[in-house]
Each structure stands twice: as structure tokens, then as C-alpha cells.
Amino acid sequence: MSETAQADPVPAAAPEAAPLLEVRDIGKYFGSVIALQGVSTQVAPGQVCCVLGDNGAGKSTLIKILSGVHQQDTGEYLIDGEPIRLANPRAALDRGIATVYQDLAMVPLMPIWRNFFLGSEPTKGRGPLRRLDVAKARDITRRELAGMGIDIRDPDQPVGTLSGGERQSVAIARAVHFGARVLILDEPTSALGVKQAGVVLRYIAQARDRGLAVVFITHNPHHAYPVGDRFVLLKRGRSLGDFAKSEVGLPELTRLMAGGAELEELSHELEREPQA
Amino acid sequence: MATATAAPVDERIKNLGVTRQLLARPEIGALLGAVVVFAFFAVQSSVFRSGAGVANWLDPASTLGIMAIPVALLMIGGEFDLSAGVMVGTVGLTIGLLTGQYGMNTWGALVIALALALALGFFNGYLVVRTKLPSFIITLGTFLMLQGLNLGVTKAVTDTVQADAIDTAPAYRPAYDIFASTVSVGGVEFRVTILWWIALTALATWVLLRTRFGNWIFSVGGNVQAARSVGVPAARTKVVLFMTTAAGAWLVGTMSALRLTSIQANTGIGEELIYIVAAVIGGCLLTGGFGSAVGASLGALIFGMVQQGIVYLGWDSDWFKFFLGAMLLLAVFTNQFVRRLAEESRR
Ligand SMILES: Nc1ncnc2c1ncn2[C@@H]1O[C@H](COP(=O)(O)OP(=O)(O)OP(=O)(O)O)[C@@H](O)[C@H]1O
Ligand SMILES: [Mg+2]
């Protein structure tokens, strides 16, 4: 279904295109914990927005608001310029927003193909005879995973028995398959081999070229910089800035992400004293 | 599309053999158990293996099975319902009071009892998904409340602890034919409840394995957060499961009210644990996300055979409880083993 949904090829990567997703001064509290405060950014169709920041900076919290898992406590969330409050992830999926969650959102005891289509199962038949189209589901699962360079042995294998990278690949293939307008990826390459990480970056570029808006979270500036159009930097729940690619270079980005001086200090610490 | 039709053989798949693959099914333990129990009693008692004997032990197995199936679905969905047993009593008493005491038409009484049961199921489910408290504690609350209510209302209305004269109400006969009569097969009278049981086992299996809702049941029991994240209406799924259990209680309550024509105020108390044990014997994991309807029915079958078999052998019926506990322990050990195989056999 995702192959057919990209009806209007948007003029490529036009920064002036109207934003598809936008957050203004958004904030989220968990009891007394302020997980996110005053963060603003936007992403247009055909653009990749990278969200960067330390562990616990609030990246996952931000994308969980975008994908309907959490609701914002302050600020505004706009889709196509309209203020909105997504009641649940279903509401986001219905708007073509698909997400790869950091915890992957998989049910370990269920087979790969059931996980792949969970919540969006293909059916055949009508009325009370409406039932799963198992053959189609198995087939698409196998095909989409093969496209990622993952050759699954058997779509009936429980997800809990897959390797970490295989599991991550299933989650990514699923989001790519169902993301018709927006693709959100929360550290999708953390468990992947070099080859598969490359495939994911290529997928992100392809989705962008098809006119999807992409939100990409990563700790790796070498992954973020080549595909990103803009970079949002979070620290302790607040925004350190929202840069267009033209405003920042790779070394600058790396320094910002690592907290510059701290990294130099670390490399001093780690270096071995030359033995006499 | 045509690429996967050839089912290419992957060099990384070791052929595990049929036995190993069968062992990974949740119901296999219950199937073996049923065969062993049948053999045990059939060898010692000729009545047990006779047509009339079979009809005799299928009878209790059927009503237990009709409850064990929805209880199993609920357990696969990650929840328990301790009020399921006493709810059978609530339904039976409602029907009994409405027909026997107030002379209401049987069909009308059945509809009201169904509405009441569904409301109770909704109440259980809604509280569980709203408060996010363990269903164990919520339904323990409804269990106690209903237990008190069953006795209190029955006493207040009838001045006794039972509701009777159900067969005096209009339209008793056609309702009896559907829910409680017997069917003659080869000269042996089988309870119609057995047909209901078989049909419901087939229906539940189809729903579990071949419908979207079945997929959702496994997912909310296996990882509810993940299920919600990918758009499964997790709360609605759980509420529907509680209401399905209540509908099962309605069916069994109706069956016993129409069959016995009088119903005791303490009906169903303690049965809830037997439903759960049958589901566990049938391969349901206590942690949710794994199990089968066929398994739960086999669990119920084992119960029916033991309950009647002990009588045929002339043993004291106290041994039934002992057997119950032993089966449960055996079942959880087997389940643990089977689950490990289920996870390993695909590697
Ligand atoms: N449900 C929750 N309840 C309480 N606190 C939470 C909850 N979710 C997140 N937090 C807190 O909010 C902060 C931001 O968490 P978040 O998961 O967004 O970080 P992150 O940037 O994704 O980190 P990482 O790089 O490790 O994934 C953390 O301090 C975390 O403890
Ligand atoms: Mg995170």
C-alpha cells in the first residue's frame, strides 16, 4: 500500500515548502519529571529532520508525541498547519505517520509476519467471514525484509528468537511499508551491521525523495549529516538549537553533539602513555 | 508476488522432525494428558468406555469447556477473571427469579440476563484498563460482590437460598431444547451442550488464528505497550475479552438454569479456578501471549473424564481435588518446557 500512496511527488527538498509536521514550544511532564520543554521544530515533505542529543535528552519523548504515544502537556503540535492532539498511535498511523520505536514495539512470542502487520492486518472476505490474508502477509513480510538485505528463514519464526539486528530490521521494514507520509526512526541503526545501516540510510534518502517527511534520531553524526536537512539539538529536555544543513558542518555538528571539550579530555584519558 | 511460492529451503534450517515441531504447539501437553487419562480409566472401567459412559463424562466437560475457552482467550490477552464462576450463578439466579418468581417469558429473562452479564464483563474490563491495576485484584472484588449479591437478593426475594420453578415460565420448552436437551446418537443420549462446546472451540480457534481480533489478543497479552504503539486498540480488545468471558458465563448459567429448573445461590463459587486450571493445562501461559482454545477444551475434557472416572472406579470424590492439583503442577512444568521448545525449535 505504501508504494501507491505517494500520489503527489513534492518538489524535491524545498526548504520553503509548507511544513508537514510542526511543534511549537512543546513540552511533556511525567509527574515531577520535565522530560521536554519549549522545543520547536518542523519538517516539510521531502525533508529529513535529525534529532540529536545525549542519553535522556528527551529525543524519544519528542517523537512519541509526534507518533501519538504521548500527548503534549504544553505547546502546539501541528499537522499540515492544523493544531492537533493525537489521541493514540492509531490516529498517527491513520495520517500516514509510521514509527520505528527505540524499543522496537515487537511482541516476542508472535511470528515475524504477525508482528509486521500487527494493527494493520490485511484481510479478505466480508462481514463475519472477514479474516486474515495470511498468504499475502507472509509474502509481503518476506519481500520487504529481503529488500533490506535480511533473508529470513521462516516468517513464522517468533520475533523473540531473532537477533537484535534482525529484529530492528523487521521494525524498520514495517515502518517503511506503512509510512505513507511521515517516517519517524528512533535510533534505528543502533544494532545494525555496516551493510544494513547503509541500507537504512539509503531507505531514508529514498523516502525523502518520494516526498515523505522523515524524522531521524541517531547518536552517530556520520549517519545524520549526509541525509539530514536540518538538525535539532536537545539537551536535558530543552532545545540547544535548530540548524539548517547550510548553517553547520560535520565537524561542528560532531562537536556540538559530543559536548566538544569533554570529548578531547576523554581522548586524553583513554590514550595510552607511550611506553618507554 | 510469485517469488515466495516455491518455498525455498534455507540451508540454515535444520530439519527438526515432526515430533519436535508438534511439541512446540501449546495444546500438545493437554492432548497427551487426555490420552493418558482416558487410557487409565478406560482400561479399568468398561462403563467408562461405553457409549453411555462417554456421554456421561462429556457432559461436565462441555459446560466446563464452554467457560474454559473464553477464560483461555482472556489469559492469552494477559488477564484473569476470578468472577467468571460466580457470574454463572448470577446469570442462573437472574433467570430463575425472573421466570420462577415473576413468571416472565423465558426468552425475555434470557435477554435480560445476557444484558446483565455483558454489563458485568464491561465493568470488569473497563476498571482493569482504566486503573491499570492487575485484573486479579479487580475481579476478586467483583467476585466477592457478586457472591454477596447472589445470596442477598435470592434470600430477599424468595426467603430461601435458591430460585426454582424455572420450568413453569412461558416458552420454557423451546429454550430448554436449544440449551439443555439431549440428542440421540446411535442410541446414546448426548447433551446438546457438547455440540455447543465443539462449535465454540472451533469458532474460538478460528478467531484466534485467522482474524485481526485474534492477532490483537496475542499482542495485548504478549506486549501491550508494543501493541498500542502499532495501533492495536488494546483497551477495547481487553474489554471485549472480559465481555466474552461474561457471555460464556451467561451461556453456561442459562444451560444449568434450564436443565436443573432450580438454581442454588452459591452456584459457581470456586469454579473460576477450575476454568483457569483447564486453560493452563491447555497450554496458556500465566503471563499471557501464548495458548490455545483447543488446549483449553482438552483441559476441560481431562476434568470431565477424571470427575466421572473416579466415580466409576468407586473412589472417594475427594481424590478429584488431589488430582486437580497434581494436573495443574504437571501442566505448568510441561508448559514451561513446551514454551522453551517453541522458542528454540525455530532457531
Ligand atoms: N514514562 C516516563 N516516566 C517518567 N520519566 C520519563 C518517562 N519517559 C521518559 N522519562 C524521562 O524523560 C527523560 C527523557 O527521556 P527520553 O527517553 O526522551 O530520552 P532520549 O533522549 O530518548 O534518550 P536515549 O538517547 O537514551 O534514548 C529521561 O530523563 C527519562 O527518565
Ligand atoms: Mg531514546
Nearest residue by C-alpha to atom 3 in ligand 1: A30
Evaluate whether A185 touches A178 at the Cβ level (below 8 Å).
Answer: no
Closest ligand 1 atom number to CA of residue A70: 1
Whether the per-residue pLDDT at B6 is higher than 50: the answer is: no
Evaluate whether B138 touches B127 at the Cβ level (below 8 Å).
Answer: yes
Whether the per-residue pLDDT at B345 is higher than 70: the answer is: no
Confidence of residue B232 (pLDDT cuts 50, 70, 90): very high
Confidence of residue B105 (pLDDT cuts 50, 70, 90): very high
> To the nearest whole number, what is the mean pLDDT of chain A?
86
The whole-angstrom separation of Cα B150 and Cα B101 is 15
How many distinct structural domains can be found in chain B?
1
Average of per-residue pLDDT across B294-303: 95
Average of per-residue pLDDT across A194-211: 88
Evaluate whether B182 touches B189 at the Cβ level (below 8 Å).
Answer: yes
Whether the per-residue pLDDT at A226 is higher than 70: the answer is: yes
pLDDT digits (tens, 9 = 90+) for B147-188: 999 999 999 999 999 999 999 999 999 999 999 999 999 889
Question: Does residue B124 lie in a domain region?
Answer: yes
Pull the grid cell for residue B288: 499471557
Range name among A78-82, A136-140, A217-221 with the lowest pLDDT average: A217-221
Q: How many Cβ pairs closer than 8 A exist between chain A and B?
A: 107
Whether the per-residue pLDDT at B71 is higher than 90: the answer is: yes
Task: With residue B4 as reference, give the H or E element that holds it.
Answer: none
Ligand 1 surroundings by CB, under 6 angstroms? A 30, 33, 35, 53, 55-61, 102
Question: Does residue B320 lie in a domain region?
Answer: yes
Question: Does residue B128 lie in a domain region?
Answer: yes
Question: Does residue B111 lie in a domain region?
Answer: yes
Report the candidate in A51, A50, A84, A160 with the shortest Cα–Cα distance to residue A115.
Answer: A160
Question: Does residue B173 lie in a domain region?
Answer: yes
Which ligand sits nearest to residue A218's alpha carbon? 1
User: What pairing do the DSSP bridges indicate for beta strands A74-79 and A238-244?
Assistant: unpaired
The whole-angstrom separation of Cα A61 and Cα A71 is 10
| pLDDT, position B27 | 86
Tell me how crowded residue A206 is: count the other CB atoms within 10 A of its CB.
12
pLDDT digits (tens, 9 = 90+) for B182-207: 999 988 999 999 999 999 999 999 99
User: Inter-chain contact A109–B290, Cβ cutoff 8 Å?
Assistant: yes
The single residue listed with the C-alpha cell 515487537 is A106
Whether the per-residue pLDDT at A9 is higher than 60: the answer is: no
The whole-angstrom separation of Cα B27 and Cα B44 is 26
Tell me how crowded residue B22 is: count the other CB atoms within 10 A of its CB.
13
pTM over 0.80? The answer is yes
| pLDDT, position B29 | 81
Tell me how crowded residue B11 is: count the other CB atoms within 10 A of its CB.
7
Contacts of A88 in chain B (CB under 8 A): 228, 231
Confidence of residue A177 (pLDDT cuts 50, 70, 90): very high
Q: How would you class B278 by CB atoms within 10 Å of its CB: exposed for 0-12, middle for 13-18, buried for 19 or more?
A: buried
| pLDDT, position B326 | 87
- Cα Rg, chain A, nearest whole Å: 20
Task: With residue A94 as reference, give the H or E element that holds it.
Answer: helix A89-94
Distance from CA of B211 to the nearest CA of A (A): 5
Question: Does residue B8 lie in a domain region?
Answer: no
Evaluate whether A152 touches A142 at the Cβ level (below 8 Å).
Answer: yes
Residue type, A87: A
- Chain A residue with minimum CA distance to B4: A139
Which ligand sits nearest to residue A238's alpha carbon? 1
User: Inter-chain contact B231–A89, Cβ cutoff 8 Å?
Assistant: yes
The conformational region for residue A119 under phi > 0 = left, psi -120 to 50 = alpha, else beta, is left
Please tell me which of A175-189, A248-262, B195-209 the model is most confident about, judged by mean pLDDT. B195-209
Evaluate whether B16 touches B344 at the Cβ level (below 8 Å).
Answer: no
pLDDT digits (tens, 9 = 90+) for B8-49: 455 555 555 565 566 667 888 888 889 989 999 999 999 999
Question: Does residue B222 lie in a domain region?
Answer: yes
Distance from the Cα of residue B332 to its chain's centroid: 18
CATH number at B269 reads 1.10.3470
Q: Domain range spanning residue B289?
A: 29-38+50-338
| pLDDT, position B316 | 85
User: Inter-chain contact A139–B4, Cβ cutoff 8 Å?
Assistant: yes
Q: Could you give all domains of chain A from N- to C-terminal order, each with its CATH number?
A: 21-107+164-169+179-265 (3.40.50.300)
pLDDT digits (tens, 9 = 90+) for A85-121: 999 999 999 999 999 999 999 999 899 999 999 999 9
Nearest residue by C-alpha to atom 1 in ligand 1: A30
Contacts of B344 in chain A (CB under 8 A): 161
The whole-angstrom separation of Cα A185 and Cα B340 is 32
Of chain B, the percentage scoring pLDDT greater than 90 comes to 75
Strands (E), chain B: 162-163, 182-185, 188-191, 263-264
User: Smallest Cβ distance to B227: which of A93, A118, A134?
Assistant: A118
Closest ligand 1 atom number to CA of residue A33: 5
Whether the per-residue pLDDT at B57 is higher than 70: the answer is: yes
Which of B205, B229, B346 to mutate to probe the A interface, most A CBs <10 Å? B229
Nearest residue by C-alpha to atom 26 in ligand 1: A55
Nearest residue by C-alpha to atom 12 in ligand 1: A35
Evaluate whether A46 touches A14 at the Cβ level (below 8 Å).
Answer: yes
Contacts of B115 (CB under 8 A, 6+ apart): none
The whole-angstrom separation of Cα B45 and Cα A143 is 57
SS3 A240: strand
The whole-angstrom separation of Cα A67 and Cα B231 is 10
Q: What is the ipTM of this complex?
A: 0.86
The whole-angstrom separation of Cα B91 and Cα B87 is 6
User: Inter-chain contact A118–B230, Cβ cutoff 8 Å?
Assistant: yes
Range name among A146-160, A209-223, B88-102 with the lowest pLDDT average: A146-160
Handedness of CA B64, B69, B72, B73 (dihedral sign): negative
Q: Which strands form A82-83's sheet, in the order they lie side by side? A: A33-43, A21-30, A74-79, A82-83
Contacts of A175 in chain B (CB under 8 A): none
Contacts of A110 in chain B (CB under 8 A): 215, 218-219, 222, 289
Handedness of CA A90, B242, A122, A174 (dihedral sign): positive
| pLDDT, position B195 | 96
Pull the grid cell for residue A74: 504544553
User: Inter-chain contact A153–B13, Cβ cutoff 8 Å?
Assistant: yes
Whether the per-residue pLDDT at A186 is higher than 90: the answer is: yes
Distance from CA of B76 to the nearest CA of A (A): 11
> To the nearest whole number, what is the mean pLDDT of chain B?
90
Nearest residue by C-alpha to atom 24 in ligand 1: A55
3-state helix, strand, coil in chain B (%, to 5): 75, 5, 20
Which of A70, A110, A151 to mutate to probe the B interface, most B CBs <10 Å? A110
The 10 Å CB-count burial string (b at 16+, else e) for A123-156 is beeeeeeebbbbebbbbbbbebbeebebebbebe
- Chain B residue with minimum CA distance to A105: B226
Contacts of B44 (CB under 8 A, 6+ apart): B313
Evaluate whether A20 touches A213 at the Cβ level (below 8 Å).
Answer: yes
Whether the per-residue pLDDT at B265 is higher than 90: the answer is: yes
The whole-angstrom separation of Cα B3 and Cα A234 is 45
User: Smallest Cβ distance to B1: which of A89, A139, A158?
Assistant: A139
